Structures are given as C-alpha cells and as structure tokens.
Amino acid sequence: MKKNEIPDIIVSRLPVYLRALRRMQSQNQQTTSSQELGEQVGISAAQIRKDLSQFGEFGKQGTGYNIAFLVSKLREILQVERVWDVVLVGMGDMGHALARYQGFSDRGFRVAMVFDNDPTKVGEQVGNFVIRDTNEMRKAIQESGIKVAMVCVPAAVAQTVTTQLVEAGVKAILNYAPISLNVPNGVRVQYLDPSIGLQRMTYYLE
Amino acid sequence: MKKNEIPDIIVSRLPVYLRALRRMQSQNQQTTSSQELGEQVGISAAQIRKDLSQFGEFGKQGTGYNIAFLVSKLREILQVERVWDVVLVGMGDMGHALARYQGFSDRGFRVAMVFDNDPTKVGEQVGNFVIRDTNEMRKAIQESGIKVAMVCVPAAVAQTVTTQLVEAGVKAILNYAPISLNVPNGVRVQYLDPSIGLQRMTYYLE
C-alpha cells in the first residue's frame, strides 16, 4: 500500500502507540495485547488492531504482540529508526526550552542548528548550540540537507521564515507560532499552539 | 444541539478559524468569505461552511461573514469570551517558557499559579509568579475553583500529578509530558508532545 493511501488519522496514532510501547519496554515488559495498549493510550483495542493491520501482521491471536518487534516495526514505518537533524528557528523562551529538551534523542530527532534574527542573540551559547543569524539559514540548510524544522518565531514573521525554510528544502515543520502557515504540496506542518489546545477543551467545560 | 453531539473534529477546527479571524481583525479587515478563510487555514470553504452551520447561520450568501460578529460567536461557543485561570505544574524549561508566554492573554487564558515539587525551585520568582510547592496544589485549586491545568512535569510523575489535579477539580489538561494520561469521563486532555508531532511527519518523508 502506498504511503498516501493510509489515512492520516491512522498515521497520527502510530507515534502514540510507539511511545506507550517504549514505556512498557523501559519497564522490562516483553509482550502486550491490544487491550492493554488500548487502556494505556485511551483508544479501543479494535481500533488499534485495525490501525496496525494496515501495515502488516504484527501480533498473534492469543499471545498478543512482542513489544520489541512491534517497536522496531513502528520505528521503521515512521522512519525514526534513524536520527533526523532538526533546525530550530526563533530563540525566545520556547526556542530555548526546545534547544535544551531531552526528549528528542531516543525518538528519532536531534536539534542540529539554532537560528534567530536578533543581533543581540546571535553568537549566544544555548545548551550545546551557538545561535546563528537567520541570514545564514538557507545556505546552512541546503548544505546539510536538513528536512525537518521547528518554528518558534512570533506570528508576524512565521510565514516569511516558513517560506525560507521550504525554499531551502525543509519538508516537515513543527510550528509553535500562533498562525496557520501556507506551504506547498509535499511539505507538512504540525501545530503546537497551546491556546488552540486549551480552546478545544473549554468548549466542553460547564 | 447538545455539546457532545457535535463531532470533536469540528470543535477542534473552531479555534483555528477564530485565530485566523482575529488576525484579519488585527489588520482592520471587516468581512471575509469561507473561501478566503479556507485559504488562510488550509481547509476547504465547503468544510468551513459545514462546520459553522452546526452552530447557527453566521454569514450571508454573497456578502460573506462579518468578522467581528463571527469572532464574537466563536468566542462564545468556545467559552473564551471570559478568562480561564490556569494552573501550571512543573517548572522546568517548558514550564518557565509557558509561565512567561504572552500568547494566552487575549485568547481566554491566564496562568494563575505555578507549582513544582523541587524544594530548590519553590519560592523562586518566574515572571509574575512565585513557584509554590505541589503539596499546596490540591488545596489551592479547590479554593480557587480552577478547572484548567498545564502539565509540564517529567513522564514518570505525570500520571500522579494528573490524578491530583483531577481530584482537586480540574477538568481540562494540556499535557506536555511525553506520556498518555488516564483521566475519568468528563475530564479532557490535549497533548503537545513535540516528538509525536515530528513523527507524524517523518512517516511521509522520502
């Protein structure tokens, strides 16, 4: 089956399954069931079995899933058995937090370069990085072949930065700026705007 | 129509429409169309009209939407015409960034209290806040009636903190910890794990 024939909603659940399985693994658990996994992630066992069946036959009736095997398969499907270099743009509070974030290393990502357009920040050391000028960004991305970026700039400049990233070859953008980004076909954006997350929930509050 | 009869996928798009409309408003635009709004948020005009029609009749054939009116209606539907106090737990890098985040104030939220369990952090000033001990959290939430929380603690303690928040009366949790949380019916969680966002995209990379 071709990549784009799998509904994106299914793809979106695979990282959640992987995260839960890795956690079981870290607790030395060897096997699991769709029931147990479902309880941990809040998704029905039937849905999990249906999602995974899109990609192959990973479990056995009665004995369940071998966790190490399923982890390995999911990492392969999501292409995170390798490590992706990530460029980080915008070194405000959120950019600083992401530059120091410890949660990328064993999940397929590594912040490789950090940029800002503020001359007072350029040259500053943040964790293992020296903040570089966004003027150098396009060339640096092209030379390194980086495909993944995180955008933490103010809303007013987020589209301009995004266009520069796309022109430099970036294909996947995690956007923290509170604005919808326009990107060409073949480029993907995921949004992490905390106010959007909160507003989705206040709808239901009494 | 009752709240829970509207599909959550529709509710999830309303904050995105609101954000784009607020942006148009900030640029002194008075009216818009489902076409224009759709281009800005990357959703079809037909989908937008269908989503909005679940809640009433907000536009006129030919003249489109009055932005101020639609903003006001969406804020009312999402219940963000008021300001929700938010409790923030876990004052690592991400917690610090959120405590200082300027993007909540005009979108219906206000960080009201910040907590950490680290004695070396308790008492520290962060922005306008003094970090308080999580031992005091339950009582403080109950007394204030806060319903919304952001969890920025390590994965290993996120479920414990969540259970405490829920027992204290919290009904909506924005979770930055890289773990799925178990909550009772009537409590909602939204997840902002950057690695999950990235892994959803690497699936498609070539």
* A153 chain-B contacts, CB cut-off 8 A: none
Cβ burial of B27 (10 Å; 0-12, 13-18, 19+) is exposed
pLDDT in tens, A127-156: 889 999 999 999 999 999 999 999 999 999
Q: Is the ipTM of this complex over 0.90?
A: yes
B36's tokens: 């224009």
Question: With 0-12 CB in 10 A as exposed, 13-18 as middle and 19+ as buried, what is A36?
Answer: middle
pLDDT of A1: 54
Q: Are B16 and A196 in contact (CB under 8 A)?
A: yes
Which chain A residues are closer than 8 Å to B15 by Cβ?
195-196, 199-200
Six-digit token string for A15: 């990282």
By CB atoms closer than 10 A (0-12, 13-18, 19+), residue B25 is: middle
CB-based contact A201 B101, cutoff 8 Å? no
Question: Which residues in chain B have their CB less than 8 angstroms from residue A152's CB?
Answer: none
pLDDT on residue B76: 97
Residue A23 pLDDT exceeds 90: yes
B193 with A94: Cβ contact below 8 A = no
Query: For the residues A30-37, what does the mean pLDDT come to?
Result: 96
d(CA A125, CA A182): 32
Q: What is the mean pLDDT of residues B177-182?
A: 96
Q: Which residues pair with A73 in a beta bridge?
A: none
Collapsing DSSP states into helix, strand and coil, what is residue B64?
strand
The minimal CB distance from A93 to the residues B100, B173, B191 is found for B100
Q: Per-residue confidence at B105, pLDDT binned at 50, 70, 90?
A: confident
Ordered alpha helix ranges (H), A61-170: 67-77, 93-99, 137-144, 155-167
Establish, for the pair of chains A and B, how many residue pairs have beta carbons separated by less than 8 Å.
203
Task: Tell me whether B188 touches chain A (CB under 8 Å).
Answer: yes
Chain B CB within 8 Å of residue A185 CB: no
Distance to chain A for B129, nearest Cα, Å: 16
> Which of B146, B201, B205, B206 to mutate against chain A (most A CBs within 10 Å)?
B201
Strand A129-130 and strand A125-126: the pairing is antiparallel
Which chain B residue is nearest to residue A109, measuring alpha carbons? B195
Chain centroid offset of residue A55 CA: 20
CA distance A64 to chain B (A): 21
CA distance B62 to chain A (A): 26
pLDDT at position A205: 96
CB B53 within 8 A of CB A177: no
Between CA B166 and CA B3 the distance in angstroms is 21
What b/e readout covers A159-174, taking b as 16+ CB neighbours within 10 angstroms? Answer: bebbebbbebebbbbb
Quick check: A148 and B202 CB within 8 A? yes
Q: Give the pLDDT confidence of A40-66 residue by residue, as tens digits.
A: 999 999 999 999 999 988 877 778 899
Cβ contact, residue pair A200, B174, below 8 Å: no
Question: Which residues of chain A have a CB within 8 Å of the CB of B84?
Answer: 198, 202, 205
Give the best residue of B3, B73, B195 to mutate against chain A (max A CB count within 10 A).
B195
Q: What's the pLDDT at B173? A: 98
The mean pLDDT of chain A is: 95
pLDDT of A119 higher than 70: yes
pLDDT tens column, B122-142: 999 998 899 999 999 999 999
Any idea which residue has 């954000």 for tokens? B19
Amino acid (one-letter) located at A155 = A
Q: Is B70 on the interface with A (CB under 8 A)?
A: no
Say what the pTM is. Answer: 0.95
Which of B86, B97, B197 lies at the smallest CB-CB distance from A174?
B197
Query: Does B153 have pLDDT greater than 90?
Result: yes
The pLDDT assigned to B4 comes to 74
pLDDT of B189 reads 97
Assign B1 a pLDDT band (cuts: 50, 70, 90).
low
In this structure, what token pair is assigned to residue A62?
């009665």
Give the CA distances from residue B151 to residues A19, B39, B82, B183, in Å, rounded to whole numbers and listed in that order: 18, 33, 22, 13
pLDDT tens digits, one per residue of B158-176:
999 999 999 999 999 999 9
Chain B residues 144-183 with CB within 8 Å of chain A: 147-148, 150, 155, 171-174, 178-180, 182
**Residue written as tokens 């849905």?**
A47
Strands A64-66 and A59-60: antiparallel
Q: Residue A144 in contact with residue A161, Cβ under 8 Å?
A: no
CA atoms of B125 and B127, how far apart (whole Å)? 6
Q: Give me the mean pLDDT over the A96-116 stretch.
A: 95
pLDDT at res. A4: 74
**B55-93 confidence digits (pLDDT tens):** 988 877 778 899 999 999 999 999 999 999 999 999 999
